Amino acid sequence: MSAEISTTRAMRRRSVLPGFGISIAITTLVMTAMVIIPLSVLALRAASLGPTEFLAAAWTPRARAAYAVSLGASVVAAAVSSVCGLLVAWVLVRIDFPGRRLLDSLVDVPLALPTAVAGLVYSTLYVERGWLGRFLVPLGIQGAYSWLGIVLVLVFVSLPFAIRVVQPVLESLDRDSEEAARMLGANRVQTFLKVIFPAIFPAVLTGFALALARALGEYGSVVFISGNMPFKTEIAPVLIVSRLEEFAYAEATAIAVVLLAMSISLLVVVNALQQRVARNAQ
């Protein structure tokens, strides 16, 4: 009896937010309604296929090629976004120039623009007669209807995440420790590699994970620039839509489940890495 009372008291004392019960209830409800139920339906639909049928639908050579294009282009785009995002964030935080605030608000535009518009604009720019394509195509750089085109639009849609995650960390960086490194004889490269980068690396990895997640799920812009050639520039979401157009719902679901499993594993690996690095940086 008394033990029970003291546990309840201890629990009460531990919770900081008022209404602990109700906030947990709302969290569970939201996560269930928005994430868990839709994903379960997806899994159930796919489970209506037997194992051999599932493999036959989701592991065809064409589907395998689509997974490779999706994952490969997304990883490359997320990596490019992380590097460019770090540079943009650095400039926005460290350098005061006229138009800085304008540039800062431009960063979010890719989030607001319908991505199909981005895909259309990119493909008109990079086709042979386009403003950029007329210079690049003679050099052998095919920006439209190619794997490179997919990467380009994926960088466009994922860059804001990479920038916005690193920016506040750069802002809160302790400037004294950079000066300390200088006083101890470190040159700029040494100061960046040994003092600044270890402090911001966890944020860079978080930005990479978000950019990757965004790129894996992208459909609207890719469909307009990739040309959707099976085995070459067809991404998994496009393959899903073409299966749906053939009314092959179970096959579409099977492909979706495989894509989802791959995406989740990739994100879990990146997050685990991020946590390890963050713990080291403490």
Binds another protein by CB under 8 A, chosen from 2, 52, 172, 187: 187
Give whichever of 119 and 202 is closer to another protein, judged by the CB atom.
202
Radius of gyration of the chain from its Cα atoms, rounded to whole angstroms: 24
Query: 55 CB contacts (<8 Å, ≥6 apart)?
Result: none
Residues 194 to 213: which contact another protein by CB under 8 A?
Answer: 194-195, 198-199
CB of 267 vs another protein, minimal distance in Å? 25
Which position among 56, 113, 132, 186 is part of the footprint of another protein (CB under 8 A)?
186
Interface region with another protein, contact rule CB under 8 A, candidates 105-113, 159-167, 175-183, 253-261 = 175-183
CB atoms within 10 A of CB 273: 14
Q: How far is the CB of 211 from another protein (least distance, A)?
A: 24
Shortest distance, position 167 Cβ to another protein, whole Å: 20
Site for another protein contains 241 (CB under 8 A): no
Q: Which residue type occupies 16?
A: V
The values of phi and psi at residue 131, to 5°, are -55, -40
* Residue with tokens 């199909």, as numbered in its chain: 116
Q: Is 282 in the site for another protein (CB under 8 A)?
A: yes
With binding defined as CB under 8 A, does residue 177 bind another protein? yes
Question: Three-state secondary structure along 186-233?
Answer: CCHHHHHHHHHHHHHHHHHHHHHHHHHHHHHHCCHHHHHHCCCCCCCC
Q: Which is nearer to another protein, 19 or 198 (CB)?
A: 198
Residue type, 2: S
- The residue range among 16-24, 37-45, 129-137, 178-186 that interacts with another protein, by the rule CB under 8 A, is 178-186
Min. distance of Cβ 190 from another protein in angstroms? 5
Q: Report the amino acid identity of residue 279.
A: R
Structure tokens at 199: 């402090």
Question: What is the number of other CB atoms lying within 10 angstroms of the CB of residue 121?
Answer: 17
Distance (Å, rounded) from C-alpha 206 to C-alpha 94? Answer: 21
Separation CA 194–CA 89 (nearest Å): 19
Judged by beta carbon, residue 111 or residue 281, the one nearer another protein is: 281
Under the binding rule (CB under 8 A), the answer on residue 280 touching another protein is yes
Among 190, 265, 271, 275, binds another protein (CB under 8 A): 190
CA distance 205 to 200: 9
Binding site for another protein (CB under 8 A): 174, 176-177, 179-187, 190, 194-195, 198-199, 280-282
